[in-house]
Structure 1
Amino acid sequence: MGQTFTGLLRAVRARTGQGGGGTARPEPTAALRLCGDYLAGLAASGPMSDARQTRLVSAIGGLTTACGTDGDELFDALLRTGQRALEAGGETETRLALDIAVEATGLRSRSKGAWRLRGSALDALGRRDEAVEAYERHLALQQNPAAAEDIVRRIATLKDLEACLHEAAGLLPEADGTRLRALHNAPAGQARTAFAEVVRRHTAEGGGLADPGVRRLTTLYAAHRRLLDRDRMADPLLGGAEPLGVTALRRLVAGRSVCLVAGAPRIADEERVPGSALGKLIDGYDLVVRCDNLPAAGPRTDLHAVTLRGDTPWTGPVWNRRAGTRLVFGDPLPHWRRSLRARLVAGAQDRVGDASLRHPLDDPALLGEDGWGPRTGTAFTVLRLLDFLDAADRLDLIGFGLPGQLLPREREWVTARATHEDETEMRTTLR
């Protein structure tokens, strides 16, 4: 795997073998030893091609470097390594994440991050009862209820899974019921397959769906299967939010003045000043568009656009800032759907963009333009979409002349189509 990888493996081995005098500082020696074993296994398996494994190896390097440093820095590196192991997704990596989490909770029993990691690793391994206990330890330490909504939802999902199995077991002979209950603490694939086999057998033996017991068993299986794949939602209808497609979006902006406001700190600071010229300028538009991270409170947002990033975008913070319309850009489709279920908040929006709007730039049914890669910014994506719809009476950008707001190719596109630019107002007019 190369000299760098070999050097890292040697460094990990050296750390696990060090001893003697010096300052007594608790270090995750068991975790380091397990990381060394993991690196040795990778070295024996040949070249790495998985980006998630590469990030894990990098995190292990950071953990090794942090040994002997400040306790907080070392502990953060330990949790980061565990999280990267969990994100890697394989069984070996998930078990490594659990082992790291166990040591982390041993080192700091009041670390909410360590207990969350432990719960997530147990959950991924199908050890759901233990996962609930770890999640509840996390909740007991969590001071910010908003940051724990996903954990509360996950605990409810795990309890619903158990309730499905318990009720289904009551419809079966004792031996089958006992086996079915045991599936609650089995890996998802095993639970899915075994439950399906029980349903097939009892459907054939019980006279098919004409039997009320068989119908109920089938309903419980469907609910269990759905919950294995997706967490429950407190409000599946999201407070009555309407799905928004391309045609509905065009109607929303038709004949209206629209401004897209940059997320630069300078813009936000000036806009917050009571009676500021910039604030009055933005308030004069019919539709105000903002992108990605929104402040907890502040000026109005009529349309919020956000792009999903990373391997697990559904784990990001929820979108709880009020917006009339929310557009979520992302691919692939399963990740997009899961992210909407996990991060949308009931009552935080009136309309949600549907799947037809999730990747407008390269969708052949919409723009279908080549050359706009995954690094394309959210602001440019929504700008290009609104320009393509050709429905707004006026389309302006506020603050995008500032450095860092657009990528070079995006800026070239804007410059080529701008009809007016006012540096005093930081406004660029496209139409």
Structure 2
Amino acid sequence: MTKPLAGLFKARQREASWPGPYARSMRLCGEHLAAQEPGAAGATGPQVRLTRAIGAFAASLDGPAADPFDALLQVGERALEAGGEHGLGLALGLAESAAGIRRRSKGAWRLRGLALDGLGRDAEALECYERYAALLSDGRPAPEVARRTDTLHRRRACLEAAVALFPAEGSELRELLAEPTATTAVLAPRFDAYVRAVVAAHGPADPAVRRLLALYGSYRRLGERDRVPDPLLGGTTPVDVGGLRALVAGRTVCVVANAGDVSGSTLCAEIDGYDLVVRCDSFRLRAEGTGGRTDLHAVTLRGDTPWDGPAWTQRAGVRLVFGDPVAGWRRAVRERIVPGAQDHLADASLRRPLSDPALLGEGDWGAAPTTAFTVLRLLDFLDASPRLDLVGFTPAGRLRPREAEWVARRATHVDDSKMRTALR
């Protein structure tokens, strides 16, 4: 017992000689709490746990039996959990203090890497992850760190390979990649602009352009999709572009309008005769008219706080949620998805098919295209269904004028008696 106690005593002596990092950490915690909105004191969840951890850290500084270093790391973990720019900023500040106190602390380097990762500072995060792994006796990092390290390396590889395809057009992006402090918030829009410029200059038929679009799609998916299943989805299986294509391949598809004349019709047998029935946004079923199945439900997020909308309780085989930006899309999905109400959930790679250069790349449909047109255009682009029909969209006004014009140009047959427009 003597040697461990002596070692602990010496460690405490070393920590006592570093009051600055602890004082700085308390100041950061105080600034974070002061910046909270007045109602935050009654909040629940991550912020409450963070506040409690700050209290425990403050108490540990005065209690000789407590370890302030462990309490400091615990505050950092709770700040990561709270998330957001302020939470991640606090976690980073505390991690820097912890690394200053104990340079070989695995927890400090792991915390710093995760905070930098959350802030989009990929290169710096990778450096911290590697420092953390080097301190481990077996060199095997925690699964979350191993996963993020792999993802960041793959994203970097996508960028480097993309720039190499068109060196002249990619010079600006290449210079940004050389800057170790370049963030995802800076790189992503520059990459987007680079892809658009190359497609406009060389055309989508160029094999190098197709390779570029594939790299762009991989980069976006790696940045927007959590590779670990979300426990809140209740067993729902995420699907990407390839997964959706596989689900619709070889199946006849109809997109059904949310309209009174469809509900009041006798088209039940006609609609249920398709292999895959698509419905949009808020819909009501009247089996005699609309049919009873919903194989794919497409919904578009609207407004400034789309996560405040009603939960998606209608049973569907596939739930396809359109929306931008990705942060709002993620929050809406997490708060409105009902576990067990769908078998598959389209991931973030499918959240904006019309404007995404990796898919259609058509940004001229306006700020609010209809959900029906978006899902129709996506299914047409996937080109995996032998029959693709609209039911209930023949009357004017159910699609935007330009959308209706596109459908009219592509239509192969129109049957007014069954309100059906065929695109195949």
TM-score (norm 1): 0.53
Confirm or deny: 8 A CA contact 1:296 1:321 kept in the other structure. no
Tell me what 2:374 maps to: 381
Amino acid across the alignment from 1:375: A
CA shift, 1:346, in A, is 1.8
Residue-by-residue CA offset, 1:79-109 (whole Å, 9 max, x unaligned): xxxxxxxxxxxxxxxxxxxxxxxxxxxxxxx
Structure 1 pair 156/300, CA: closer, same or farther in 2 (3 Å)? Answer: farther
C-alpha separation between the residues in 2 aligned to 1:215 and 1:169? Answer: 22
Structure 1 pair 168/323, CA: closer, same or farther in 2 (3 Å)? Answer: farther
Residue-by-residue CA offset, 1:53-85 (whole Å, 9 max, x unaligned): xxxxxxxxxxxxxxxxxxxxxxxxxxxxxxxxx
Answering whether residue 309 of structure 2 is matched by residue 420 of structure 1, we say no
C-alpha separation between the residues in 2 aligned to 1:390 and 1:191? Answer: 44
C-alpha separation between the residues in 1 aligned to 2:338 and 2:273? Answer: 28
Work out which of the residue numbers 268, 280, 288 in structure 1 matches 2:277.
Answer: 288
Confirm or deny: 8 A CA contact 2:323 2:352 kept in the other structure. yes
What are the residue-to-residue correspondences of 1:140-219 with 2, within 5 Å? 155-165=44-54, 174=63, 193-206=89-102, 208-210=104-106
Work out which of the residue numbers 227, 235, 243 in structure 1 matches 2:238.
Answer: 243
Amino acid across the alignment from 1:291: C
Structure 1 pair 418/182, CA: closer, same or farther in 2 (3 Å)? Answer: closer
Task: Point out the more displaced range, 317-326 or 331-340.
Answer: 331-340
CA shift, 1:297, in A, is 9.4
**SS of corresponding position for 2:234:** helix
**SS of corresponding position for 1:379:** helix
Confirm or deny: 8 A CA contact 1:320 1:345 kept in the other structure. yes
Structure 1 pair 124/368, CA: closer, same or farther in 2 (3 Å)? Answer: same
Confirm or deny: 8 A CA contact 2:307 2:333 kept in the other structure. yes
Work out which of the residue numbers 235, 259, 266 in structure 1 matches 2:254.
Answer: 259
Confirm or deny: 8 A CA contact 2:53 2:75 kept in the other structure. no
Tell me what 1:68 maps to: none
TM-score (norm 2): 0.54
Confirm or deny: 8 A CA contact 2:57 2:75 kept in the other structure. no
Residue-by-residue CA offset, 1:102-158 (whole Å, 9 max, x unaligned): xxxxxxxxxxxxxxxxxxxx99716422x34xxxxxxxxxxxxxxxxxxxxxx3344
Tell me what 1:125 maps to: 37
C-alpha separation between the residues in 1 aligned to 2:313 and 2:61? Answer: 44
- In the alignment of these two chains, the number of paired residues is 271
C-alpha separation between the residues in 1 aligned to 2:412 and 2:47? Answer: 56
CA shift, 1:309, in A, is 1.6
Tell me what 1:306 maps to: 299
**SS of corresponding position for 1:335:** helix
CA shift, 1:305, in A, is 0.8
Answering whether residue 387 of structure 2 is matched by residue 394 of structure 1, we say yes
Answering whether residue 268 of structure 2 is matched by residue 279 of structure 1, we say yes
Tell me what 1:323 maps to: 316
Amino acid across the alignment from 1:156: G
Amino acid across the alignment from 2:99: T
Confirm or deny: 8 A CA contact 1:324 1:350 kept in the other structure. yes
C-alpha separation between the residues in 2 aligned to 1:319 and 1:401? Answer: 27
The sequence identity of aligned pairs, in percent, is 49
Answering whether residue 329 of structure 2 is matched by residue 339 of structure 1, we say no
What are the residue-to-residue correspondences of 1:343-362 with 2, within 5 Å? 343-362=336-355
Confirm or deny: 8 A CA contact 1:127 1:187 kept in the other structure. no
Answering whether residue 352 of structure 2 is matched by residue 372 of structure 1, we say no
C-alpha separation between the residues in 2 aligned to 1:187 and 1:371? Answer: 34
Amino acid across the alignment from 1:245: D
Aligned Cα root-mean-square deviation (Å): 4.2
C-alpha separation between the residues in 1 aligned to 2:270 and 2:233? Answer: 32
C-alpha separation between the residues in 1 aligned to 2:357 and 2:391? Answer: 30
CA shift, 1:304, in A, is 0.8
Gaps of 5+ in 1: 1-121, 133-154, 226-233, 272-276
C-alpha separation between the residues in 2 aligned to 1:191 and 1:243? Answer: 28
Residue-by-residue CA offset, 1:166-189 (whole Å, 9 max, x unaligned): 565676555999998999999976
Confirm or deny: 8 A CA contact 1:168 1:217 kept in the other structure. no
C-alpha separation between the residues in 1 aligned to 2:381 and 2:311? Answer: 29
